[in-house]
Amino acid sequence: LHYLCGYLGIVPEEFEVLPVFLKVENMSQNPTKVDLPNSFITIGEKQTSYMDTDSVVDRIAKNDADAARALGTVLGVFGGVAGVVGGVAGAVVGTGLGVVIDSSKTGSATVEGHYYRQSSSPVFIQPKNSGSGLVFYHFSKEDFDCEGLTLSVPIVDLNTNNISNAKFTFKPANFKKIKGERK
Partner 1 sequence: MRQSILFCLFSVLILMMSGCAAPQLKKDDLLFEPVIDKVISDERPVFIYVEDFGFAKTIPDPSIVGEARIGMFNAPASILSQDPVHTIITDQIKNAFLEAGFKLEEKEKADFTISGRVERFWVNERPAGMAESSKASVKYDLIVKDRQGRFVWGENVIGKATSAKTLDTTKNDVPTLINALKNSIESIFLNDSFLRAVGQ
Residues making contact with partner 1 (CB under 8 A): 30-31, 33, 37-38, 49-52, 54-55, 58, 61, 65, 68, 121-124, 158-159
Q: Indicate the residue among 115 and 175 with the shorter CB distance to partner 1.
A: 115
Cβ atoms within 10 A of the Cβ of 61, count?
17
CB 80 → partner 1: shortest distance, Å? 26
Residue 42 Cβ, how far from partner 1 at the closest point, in Å? 16
- SS3 of residue 52 by DSSP: coil
Give bridge partners of residue 130 from the DSSP assignment: 25
Question: CB of 182: closest distance to partner 1 in angstroms?
Answer: 28
The phi and psi torsions of 39 (rounded to 5 degrees) equal: -80, 160
Which is nearer to partner 1, 51 or 101 (by Cβ)? 51
CB closer to partner 1, 50 vs 168? 50
β-pairing, 149-157 vs 40-43, is antiparallel
Q: Work out how close the CB of 171 gets to partner 1 at its nearest, in angstroms, rounded to a whole number.
A: 27
Cα gap 115→64, rounded to integer Å: 17
Residue number, 65 or 74, with CB nearest to partner 1 = 65
Q: What is the nearest approach in angstroms of partner 1 to the Cβ of residue 65?
A: 7
CB atoms within 10 A of CB 141: 12
Cβ closer to partner 1: 49 or 103?
49
Coarse DSSP helix, strand, coil percentages of the chain, rounded to the nearest 5 percent: 30, 35, 30
